[in-house]
Amino acid sequence: MKKIAVIGLGIIGASLGGALTRAGYAVYGTDQDAEAVKKAILRGYIAGEAKRIAEFDAVFIAVPPKATVKILDETPFKDGAFVADICGVKEPMEKTVYSRPRAYRYIGLHPMAGKETSGIDAASVDLFENANLIITVCSQTEESAKTEATSYATALGFGKIVVCSAKEHDKKIALTSQLAHIVSNAYVKSEEISGCEGFTGGSFQDMTRIAGVDERVWTQLYAANRGPILSELTRLIDCLNEYKHALQEEDDKTLCEALRAGRLVRERIKRKED
């Protein structure tokens, strides 16, 4: 049986370990927080601590961007090992891997699953059930790595699997994830937020759910994907200025047209989702 190591036992790593263990794999884990390792063992997410990464046939890296780059660059993986990073950006990882010869088989993975909370206490073996999974590949990606990644994805219960380049991934994620977190985080800074109890409904909950980012991790994610995020942020600000200008000028016709355009886009998205 293949031995699998998970590096990083936060919400994603611990959930990954637990789901793979449930699927019948021999999974071990490691984390800079010794308590996280203990909890992962006690809760049955992993069989034990991964002490020598070079002994493992497959390795999943579930840590922030800077640590991921360091691990990919400096860790002595087993020759031929399957190595996947679970980071929210992909181009910096891919460039690190292919900047020099390496003996392992690399592939980029990004589960589109998570919660507004983080850490091992938020982990769940069901986290990936029917979730989307992005697999990033390039001309140097081994076919066997793609096949193995798909096999793990099936065992983990993922629904839709999208295969794309690292560049396309980072561009799309800037819009669908990273910009959304910025907007939510900025939205809650209104002076009116204090004392709004009783005035909130579903729209407020939707807008604020992901405001509580771990600023240390997300600063790294934004810095690693600076160009695409700046592009999307600029586009959003331009759109918001349209609404602002229409309100300032009491131009209800332009305001209505802007709202209608947004509604039609949302309806097209919904039709594709259905």
Distance CA 175, CA 230 (A): 10
Contacts of 91 (CB under 8 A, 6+ apart): 166, 167, 169, 170, 224, 225
Contacts of 111 (CB under 8 A, 6+ apart): 12, 16, 86, 127, 128, 131, 132, 133, 158
Residues 185, 211 contacting (CB under 8 angstroms): yes
pLDDT of residue 273: 79
pLDDT of residue 116: 72
Pick from 163, 184, 185, 177: nearest CA to 225: 177
What are the two backbone dihedrals, phi and then psi, of residue 144, each rounded to the nearest 5 degrees?
A: -65, -30
Q: Which domains does the chain have, with CATH numbers?
A: 3-165 (3.40.50.720), 169-273 (1.10.3660.10)
pLDDT of residue 274: 75
Going residue by residue through the chain (274 aa), what tens digit of pLDDT does each one get?
789 999 999 999 999 999 999 999 999 999 999 999 999 999 999 999 999 999 999 999 999 999 999 999 999 999 999 999 999 999 999 999 999 999 999 999 999 987 777 789 999 999 999 999 999 999 999 999 999 999 999 999 999 999 999 999 999 999 999 999 999 999 999 999 998 989 999 999 999 999 988 899 999 999 999 999 999 999 999 999 999 999 999 999 999 999 999 999 999 998 987 7
Relative to beta strand 3-7, strand 48-49 is: unpaired
Contacts of 43 (CB under 8 A, 6+ apart): 14, 18, 123
